[in-house]
């Protein structure tokens, strides 16, 4: 039985720091996605909103917030939260309802208005919250974790700061012609290495910013798409939202320690490897068939990790692909042709949806100025806190 649903429309609000309410961004993206689909708002049967914890009650009930802002139409609503994997979890919620035959058309929206600086935990004393504890007890902001991952690559695989800088150079070049990107400027390796050290070995230009932004996706059943004349739409072939398997022997945020594997043994796959594996298994598509990948490049070094986690190369070979130009436009497997978070920054509930928007444009041949030639299959990857991870696999 196929679990495919059609991507009928996609839309975004450009990333930046606009000083507006997140709802304005979400409505803009939703209307753009509806216009792209040619489907009337009155025909939407489900609205799934990506929760934004920094924007008060309206952010906690984002599905209803967006439905109200678009004009109550009687649709069912749902709200999803999975930190940076929020958008993919929202897609999975919409997909499940469509596949169950409970609706034909679903609108998925994620939007955020972010504060200046690090994405810190919500205020207050929360001693049972490991995310809060790592800030309070260890002073471990997210870039400190990114630096530990980077140092791990250097120690295990011989990665260099020049390699990390080259990831930024590549993504800046990719994002140059992306109208939704916040940063649209060529960057040299010298620029990256001359920028301030944030957490050794990572420089300021190795680490993504926080941004305002929004993305939206209109999903339909395949039968509904055919009735609308969409005979060969982009399809969501798989959505992976797996959790870690005990013991998690590679430390991930926000863990303060990891578990001994002395009794249980080392798991077959790390958590991040299992995310993509589940997507490939569901879709019946292998990594060798992937045309492009949109990955969660919170730091330049993390992009290299994801290339291997997605099985696009063997462990320890990502730097080789990067140096050979295989991950750039025109290469064997372009990674982050959108420009990635390097060019967008984090708008947490929107970024997994933004990746799906980019892959959809790529598979349609509509990614002007950054098009991957003959793109047929695209995969996304995100990791959220507390065991949340996601991957969406799409094809034509």
Q: Where are the beta strands (DSSP E) in 84-220?
A: 105-112, 197-199, 202-203, 212-220
Measured CA to CA in angstroms, residue 49 lies from 106, 119, 125, 337, 357 at distances of 11, 20, 28, 26, 16
> What's the token pair of residue 76?
């069912």
> What's the token pair of residue 172?
């800046």
> What's the token pair of residue 178?
């992306």
Measured CA to CA in angstroms, residue 204 lies from 186, 209, 262 at distances of 15, 9, 39
Read off the DSSP letter of residue 141.
-
Is it true that 5-117+212-234 and 130-207+237-395 share their CATH fold? yes
As a whole number of angstroms, the distance between CA 107 and CA 98 comes to 11
Q: Which of 301, 334, 359 is nearest to 144 (CA)?
A: 301
Indicate the helix (H) or strand (E) that contains 155: helix 142-157
Fold type of domain 5-117+212-234: Peroxisomal Thiolase; Chain A, domain 1 (3.40.47)
Say how many C-beta atoms besides its own lie within 10 A of residue 84's C-beta. 22
Q: Pairing relation of β-strands 105-112 and 46-50?
A: parallel
The residue ranges of every structural domain in the chain are 5-117+212-234, 130-207+237-395
Cβ pair 364, 395 in contact under 8 A: no
Q: Where are the beta strands (DSSP E) in the chain?
A: 5-16, 46-50, 76-80, 105-112, 197-199, 202-203, 212-220, 234-240, 292-294, 377-380, 382-383, 389-395
270: Cα separation from own chain's centroid:
19
- pTM for the model stands at 0.96
Q: Which of 62, 105, 8, 7 is nearest to 214 (CA)?
A: 62
Tell me which residues of the chain have a pLDDT lower than 50: none
Read off the DSSP letter of residue 346.
B
User: For domain 130-207+237-395, is the CATH number 3.60.15.10?
Assistant: no
> What's the token pair of residue 54?
């920094």
Residues in the chain: 396
> What's the token pair of residue 352?
């997994």
SS3 content of the chain, % helix, strand, coil (to 5): 40, 20, 40
pLDDT digits (tens, 9 = 90+) for 277-333: 999 999 999 999 999 999 999 999 999 999 999 999 999 999 999 999 999 999 999
Q: Which of 186, 191, 198 is nearest to 299 (CA)?
A: 198
């Amino acid at each position: 039985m196929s679990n495919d649903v059609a991507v009928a429309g996609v839309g975004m609000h450009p990333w930046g720091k606009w000083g507006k309410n997140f709802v304005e961004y979400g409505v803009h993206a939703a209307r753009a996605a509806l216009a792209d689909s040619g489907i009337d708002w009155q025909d939407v049967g489900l609205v799934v909103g990506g929760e934004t914890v920094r924007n008060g009650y309206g952010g906690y009930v984002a599905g209803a917030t967006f439905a109200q802002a678009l004009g109550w139409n009687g649709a069912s609503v749902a709200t999803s939260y999975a930190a940076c994997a929020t958008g993919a979890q929202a897609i999975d919620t919409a997909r499940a309802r469509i596949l169950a035959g409970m609706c034909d058309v679903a609108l998925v929206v994620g939007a955020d208005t972010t504060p200046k600086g690090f994405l810190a935990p919500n205020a207050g004393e929360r001693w049972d919250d490991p995310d809060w504890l790592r800030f309070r007890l260890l002073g471990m902001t997210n870039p400190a974790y990114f630096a530990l991952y980077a140092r791990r690559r250097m120690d295990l695989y011989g990665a260099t700061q020049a390699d990390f800088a080259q990831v930024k150079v590549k993504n800046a070049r990719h994002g140059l012609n992306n109208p939704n990107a916040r940063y649209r400027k060529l960057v040299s390796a010298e620029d990256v290495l001359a920028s301030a050290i944030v957490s050794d070995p990572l420089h300021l230009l190795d680490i993504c910013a926080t941004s305002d932004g929004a993305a939206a996706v209109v999903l339909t059943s395949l039968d509904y798409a055919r009735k609308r004349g969409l005979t060969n739409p982009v399809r969501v072939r798989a959505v992976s939202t797996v959790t870690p398997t005990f013991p998690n022997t590679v430390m991930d945020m926000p863990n303060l320690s990891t578990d001994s594997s002395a009794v249980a043994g080392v798991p077959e796959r790390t958590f991040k490897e299992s995310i993509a594996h589940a997507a490939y298994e569901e879709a019946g598509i292998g990594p060798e068939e992937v045309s492009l990948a949109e990955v969660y490049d919170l730091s330049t070094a993390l992009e290299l990790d994801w290339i291997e986690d997605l099985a696009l190369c063997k462990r320890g070979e990502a730097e080789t692909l990067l140096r050979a130009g295989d991950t750039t436009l025109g290469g064997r497997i372009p990674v982050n042709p959108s420009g990635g978070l390097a060019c967008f920054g984090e708008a947490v509930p929107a970024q997994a949806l933004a990746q799906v928007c980019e892959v959809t444009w790529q598979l349609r041949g509509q990614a002007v100025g950054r098009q991957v030639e003959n793109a047929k299959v695209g995969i996304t990857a995100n990791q959220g806190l507390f065991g949340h991870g996601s991957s969406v696999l799409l094809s034509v």
